[in-house]
Chain A
Amino acid sequence: MHDDPGETELEEELRRVAARFEPVPPVLLQAALDAYSWRTADAELAELVFDSLVDRDEAALVRGGDDGRMLSFHVGGLSIEVEVSGTGASRRLIGQLVPPQQAVVDIRHGGDVATLETDELGRFSSGTLRAGPVSLRCSTGEEANRRRVVTDWILI
């Protein structure tokens, strides 16, 4: 053992030990590098403005219950409302664009993209997804005035 190491010395030693016993897993370093390729520079970003997990009391008031997790993303007059259900490692999303409008929705998830079309009221529903980060990319309007929106990544 060192002779009474100073605080900084002990901290530096601990840093080396932590780097050895608890390094950033290489697969996660790679995942962080890969995150860059998911960037959609040409789309508007709909930010998460409501999450019943965090704003639970408010959610209970609005919905009168707390089954399923409610999320709301918003940008420039468009909202994307999503309900997340499922337990363990499987999840399912049911959502709607507000104001209601038809759109193509890409579910970006687990390194993959699943494309689906909403009904005329902007409603959509995913298949079974594994728990993990997810983001929606929506494309609305006619070719001439196409609008592209991506949501914040969230962990479901």
Chain B
Amino acid sequence: MTDTVPSRTLVIEREVPHPAEKIWRALTQGSLIEEWLMKNDFQPVVGHRFNFRSTPVPGWDGVIDGEVLVVEPNSRLSYSWGSMGLKSVVAWTLTPTKDGTHVRMEQSGFRSEEDAAYKGARWGWTKFIGNLERVAGGLD
């Protein structure tokens, strides 16, 4: 992180018709994480270092390095997320609602190299890169 470049934050929120306890299990149990995110050796223990592993594609080795930062069962989970020069933090917040749970995922702390990319995205590059990703993914 540099002083001149503010960090970027990506937020995705959804309300799901399931209790927080169940979502917590999906977020923290290795075998369940593998079903929706990636292969892993995750443990919900503060300070635990782990990897998420995905199939490598051209331009990405498929490995995420993480360390567990916050564990508040059924409520808050946070871990670092490092890959290919990107250093960020992923924070999950579960809030009970009338019919289920509000799930919030925030990824923040992108470094300055990504800043150029962020500006680029505002020029309408998203679709282009989406296409490239598909092309690149199909190459191997």
**A complexed with B:** no
Q: Which residues of A contact B (CB under 8 A)?
A: none
